[in-house]
Structure formats: structure tokens, C-alpha cells
Structure 1
């Protein structure tokens, strides 16, 4: 289940497009990516994803994306002046990466990351593309409604702060027609849906090609950085795949509401990590109050404040 709204960015592609996948894979291969057993294709779940080109066994290691392809807060900026201003400003990791994405994407073919950016969705499936009215209508009874509104407001406020403190002071470096609120929401939408924490590397990063893998709540395979074997991003399959089958990873053991907030979709298959929060408390006029209080205390709980179970 996806929700999309048109944005004002001039880069990227249709979220279901695979036409630029060959350009991305050829670029990565020419720059040192190992021969792949996966190919980008249209899929029923996720619109597009990586599909096995041959039989894959359980426990097989795949991808091997070299570390030089990782986009992180310490990546080298294509525009040195932009990078210098942002580094001197000492911004947190997320806004730094958002500005990096806008800076590089807006440079078009002059950016070394061009083959990657042309595969990114022009309109990310992100809660940031919703208006507050849409959130209130579509999530009216959802426990994530307030979190969704907070997310939209936080990103909008971060953009306004940056416009007042940095962008407006360097209009030649941060032209207003490029560094728009729509572009900022696009960048954060990309980060929400594609940024991963690599435990062995201890950093957040975008991983071209690997980020074409879709999530399944039935899978326990995760991306990680292999310090040996060429220092690359890999994952180990937790099941076998046949040629033509979509290969999945896990974005974490998250309920559907969290997946909607972070990635902009709700799984079409059963999600064992879903739960409902029930607010419960004890009435001291209840004849069974003492027994219920004892039961709560035996489980490390008390009768006040109300508990989320």
C-alpha cells in the first residue's frame, strides 16, 4: 500500500522504472562491483526490486558493494564550496546528508553519482509527501498519526532553520530554486527509505544497488559491512531462491505503522511484528482491585499511570 504525491524536483525517475537499472549496474561494475547474481526488475511486491538470475542457496553471501560507493556524512562533495560551508556549520548527520543529496542530484551528469541518482524515485513513497489534512484523514484512528504529523513538522522546521541560517546567507551556493522545501522533503524521503546503519562499520550510509532490495517481514537477512573480503557491504540469504524470484532483506522487526512512517509502505503480507497498544488502568473501587494490583506487581508493574500493553 503506497501513497504518493507529486514533488517539485527535476531529477530521479518513476518509482517503478527499471530502465536506468542497467546504467547503474554497468557503472558499479566498471568501478569494481563484483559480478552479480541479481538483476533489477519489476516485481509485484515493491514495484521494482532485485531478482535472482540463478539458483541461490540458503546462507549464500551476495552483493559485495565496495566501501567507496557508500554515501555517508563524510563523503566527498562534488561541489567543494558547498561541502566546506556545510562542514563548517557542524550540522547533524541527517540534514548534512539531505543537503548532500540535493547538491549532487541537482548537478545532473556532472556529478560522479549521476548513475545512482537517475535510479532514485522522483517521488519517494514517504509520509513527507502527505499534507497534514491527508494524515488526519487517512490515519485518523492510527496510533502513528501524531508521529506522522511530528515527522512532517520536524522536517519542515529543519528546512526553515537552514534557509534562515545558511541558505539565505549563501544564495549563489544554495540557489532558492534548487534548495526548496520540496527538494528537502525529497531528500529526507530518500534517507527515510534507504539509509541503513551498518553495525560493523558503525555508521549510517546509503548503499547504491543494495538499496534496491525490498523488505519482507518473513525474512531475517540484513545488510552489513564486511571488514574482510575487500571491505564491502554484503548480506547472507536466510532461505533459498529460484531464478526469477525476488530476493528480500529485512528492514528490521517493525510493526506496519513504523514501516509506513519510515519507508512509506505497509506490507501486503502478514506481519508478525504488528501490535496494538491498549491503555489500561485499575479502578480502586473494583472489588478485585487488590488481586489485580498484586498481579501487576508480580510482573513489575503498578496501577498508575495507565500501562501500555
Structure 2
């Protein structure tokens, strides 16, 4: 990572130090022992004494150790599983953002009470942290090209929000896919006119036009891939770490608490044991067409079709047939269809004035389901209750695996508003990203209708290795007792050769033990190679059937070719495999 240029000499005088306390490992954390073991193995702790009289270079080395410890503190189960013995990170963009942000906040507090000499050291450390935060998501900044003017509907949404107390340092932006296609088509028309004017031969004119198109056609997929989502939000000014990019009054949050104040709730609360979640779906169906609704402007800006996996057409489902993702989507659709059939015509028969028959269609019900799946957020309201909510305006923020906004789930009790603070800087004109959560591609396809660009560390293939006993019924060794394993793209590993070959150490250790290929100091080089051959051939026997289920890769399809194989494997097949 980039570092602030080290200054020579001393930053202070005397032997004073500043204590930097990372949050201690929680005993209630189910990963407590694993994290404690990693910290001990790497000789790290959660307490650091920063001398204010050492060189800048030494201070930055100490910062590296703080960051390494913070990474371990914030590791999740996936990161612990895939971390290699001497891997010091970064483990994922999310982990890096969390680690750097906790240090940034700690230094902020220390700056409030430190003397002038100590502040010089702390400010240097904080400046370096900001530099590193900028480097986390630097590849995301080029994913959106925006028009200079907003569309009328979305522009009115921002004005409506501001009228109701929304504070925003963001503006809505649109990708120029249609514009670029129109531009390309216009250029073709101009070429035809030019060739017809200059080349007085129809066949030669057609041949020249074809050559020009074939020479330039490769640009089109690049344009489409580059653009990303259809709309998003960009910073209208430069926003720093910790600053709120968006602030939404609690009164604009659509939640169960809002539902309880509506006539829909009063009518349905004692009817047929309908849950609050179902009431919110019914409320959304009705409110979408309510011309006097407070949220009329919000509903007008929502898309007519969300295009999630739940509304995949025949062609898309046919492409998925035979995969577990196909089964999951079909089961989800069948569940929703059953839920719809249980509600209608019962609802509009008993409440004809409130629920018109023309509104209570399957398409409108599915639209409401997709709205809540793709746009809802989990928020702790000022009452202290954790609720699934719709947040007008904030729903326009696009997802990224290296987002600007990471932690936003609690209403501020003092201001009664939901703030969206930045975890990394966002420059003016740069698209501002939100985290939708630690989701694999399959989840994002099914419930959001997209795959994130780039490597998604949560795209994993689970493996259920049922090797708890030998054929004679004897128990396996302790090293094979863990039966749940997983694998992901080996390009995410820092080490491609022996002894892991880019594969997770727990999986290899399990297979080596199960196949009698354990390594020790007495194992010869020839035996090591033979043992590894057996293990790797076993892995091939697991994954070859998976790959056989995938369609052949069309290398001419540049958009498809840029999608990592494992991402496609998980997103489109969601395969699991039992190795007995």
C-alpha cells in the first residue's frame, strides 16, 4: 500500500508514549478462540504504545502492526477459513475498511486530549490511514458515467426529500448506455451516407462498411460493461471519512412502525393472522397507486420492473435449468405464488374499498416482493427495534464489495435521523457506493438482479466432506473432524505453489489426513509430490462434474469472459458436492 513519505529525524522529544487500544476480543464472539490464536501466532495484541519521540518510518511500521491486529479483530468466518498461516492481509475490502476505520476513530478521540507533540504523531498516522482508505476502492471510481442533469422524476425525489428534511451531499447520476448506443447507431448512419457519397459501388460500399463495423464492434461490450447499473448517486462535493453523505429523517423511513399508523394496519391487524411483513407488501401495492400518498413521489421513481431472479423469464430460467439456483428460484416463486393465492381474492373481497381488484394482481404482488427484497435495509429505529425498512433516496445507492458506506444501520437518537457516514473518502463527481451485505453472486442475482463487477470474496462453493468414519466404521482423526469446507477462486490467494496451491489450508489438511497423505519432517520430497498428486487428483474428481454442468465459454463474448469462472459457477449453479 502507498505510504506517506517518511520524515527524517525525530517527531518529538522525551520518552512519552500514546496508548492505542483496539477493541478487545469479545468472549461472546463465536470466533473468539480462532482470532486469539491468530493474534498469538503473529505476536500481536490489542494494545500499542506509540512513542512520540521516534522517527516517522518507525511510527508507520507500528501502524502496520496496528492494522494487522485490527484485521484479525474484524475477521469473519470466511476470512478466517481462507487466511493462510503467514498471511497478514488485507483479507477483503470490507475487512480492510472496518480495520482502518476503527483506527481512524480511535485516533480521532486521542487527538481531542493529546498535547501538541503527540498530536503531530497522531495526525501523521491518521493521514496515512486516509491514504490507505483511498486505495481500497480505487477501481470503483470509473464505473459510472453521469449526465450533467438529472431526470425529472429523480430530481423531484431529491426535492421532495429535501422538503421533508433530507440532507444530502449526493446527486443522482445516470449511465449513458442508451446514449452510447444511439451515438454508435448515428455514426453507422453517417458512415453509410459518407460511403454512398464517396464510393459509387453498392457492393464495395457494403464491404467497406462491414470492415469498419467489425474493426470497431469490440468497443460495444466494453461500453456496456463499463457502465454498471442504470443509475446511482455521485458526490456533489468531496466527502471525508466519517462525514455523512446522506441523512434521512426517521419520519421518511417506511417500516412496521409507519405501517401501524396506517388504515391498512387497522383493517388487517385482526384479520386471518396476517403478519406485519405481509401487511407491508399489501401497503406497498396500495400505496403505489395512492395519488394522495405522502410517498407518491418516491413510488413514482421506482422502476416498473426490478428484473431480479424472481421475475426471470423463460429464456433465463431455461439457461439455469438443472442447477440448484434454478431450483431455489422456482421454489421461491412457488412460495410467493402460494402466498398470493392465500391472500387473494380473500383480501379484495373483504375490503373492496381499500384494495381494488385491479391493483391486487399477481404482477403487482411480485413487484412489491421484489421492492422489499432489493431495496430494504435493516435499521435500528429510535425505539430500539430492529426493523426491515425502505429508505427513500438511499435506495438509489449502488452496491460494491468495496463501498464508501459500510455502517449505517441505526437511527441517531439525538437528531431522529438515519445517517450514512463514509468509511472511505469520496471525491466530487465520484460514484458513492453502499454495501448491501456479505452476499455471494447467487443471492445478488436472485434478490437484486445483478452481479457485482470484479472479484467477490463471498463467491464460495460449499463442500460437505463426509469422512467421519472409515469403511470399517472406525473414527477419523481429529484433523478430519471438520466436515464443512469451502473453496473459491485461487486467484484470491497470495500463494499459488506448494504447500497450498492457492487452495484453503483447512481443506487440504482435511484431505491429506483423510487420504493418509499427512506430511511430517521425515516425508521425502518424492513422497510429498506423490501425496500432493493424490490430493489434487481427488479435488479434480470433485470439481470436474461441476464444470461439466457449466455452458461452454464463448471467448468472443467479452462481457461474459470478464466474469470470473468461480463467480459464474456459484452464481449460476450454486453447486454443493458431497465427497464420500
TM category, shorter: 0.7 to 0.9
Q: Report the equivalent of 2:174.
A: 42
Q: Does 1:181 align with 2:362?
A: yes
1:52-97 deviation per Cα after TM superposition (whole angstroms, max 9, x unaligned): 01111122222110000011123258973x4422223242232111
Aligned partners of 2:411 and 2:317: how far apart in 1? 43
Largest Rg, 1 or 2: 2
Aligned to 1:171, which of 330, 337, 352? 352
Aligned to 1:246, which of 431, 436, 459? 431
Root-mean-square deviation (CA, aligned residues, Å) is 2.9
Aligned partners of 1:274 and 1:239: how far apart in 2? 24
Q: Quote how far apart the aligned CAs of 1:233 are.
A: 1.1
Q: Does 1:87 align with 2:272?
A: no
Aligned to 2:342, which of 154, 161, 183? 161
1:111-131 deviation per Cα after TM superposition (whole angstroms, max 9, x unaligned): 111110111111113222125
Kept in 2: contact 1:49–1:214 (CA 8 A) = yes
Q: Quote how far apart the aligned CAs of 1:264 are.
A: 1.6
Kept in 2: contact 1:18–1:48 (CA 8 A) = no
Q: Report the equivalent of 2:244.
A: 61
Aligned to 2:295, which of 107, 110, 113? 113
Q: Report the equivalent of 2:409.
A: 224
Aligned partners of 1:292 and 1:77: how far apart in 2? 56
Aligned to 1:212, which of 396, 405, 409? 396
Q: How does 1:274-293 map to 2 (within 5 A)?
A: 274-282=459-467
Aligned partners of 1:51 and 1:154: how far apart in 2? 38
Q: Does 1:137 align with 2:318?
A: yes
Q: Quote how far apart the aligned CAs of 1:245 are.
A: 0.8
Kept in 2: contact 1:40–1:51 (CA 8 A) = yes
Name stretches of at least 5 consecutive residues in structure 2 with no aligned partner.
Answer: 1-149, 176-226, 485-509, 515-576
1:160-193 deviation per Cα after TM superposition (whole angstroms, max 9, x unaligned): 1011432333333322211100000000110000
Q: Which has the higher contact order (CA 8 A, sep 6+)?
A: 1
TM-score, normalised relative to structure 1: 0.81
TM-score, normalised relative to structure 2: 0.45
Q: Does 1:296 align with 2:480?
A: yes
Name stretches of at least 5 consecutive residues in structure 1 with no aligned partner.
Answer: 1-16
Q: Report the equivalent of 1:97.
A: 280
Kept in 2: contact 1:222–1:249 (CA 8 A) = no
1:223-259 deviation per Cα after TM superposition (whole angstroms, max 9, x unaligned): 3223334111112212111111110111111111111
Q: Does 1:25 align with 2:207?
A: no
Aligned partners of 1:111 and 1:178: how far apart in 2? 16
Aligned to 1:126, which of 308, 319, 332? 308
Q: Does 1:269 align with 2:454?
A: yes
Kept in 1: contact 2:284–2:368 (CA 8 A) = yes
Q: Quote how far apart the aligned CAs of 1:213 are.
A: 0.8
User: How many residue pairs are counted as aligned between the two chains?
Assistant: 284
SS class of match (1:46) = coil
Kept in 2: contact 1:78–1:111 (CA 8 A) = no
Q: Does 1:237 align with 2:418?
A: no
Aligned partners of 1:300 and 1:269: how far apart in 2? 30
SS class of match (2:257) = coil
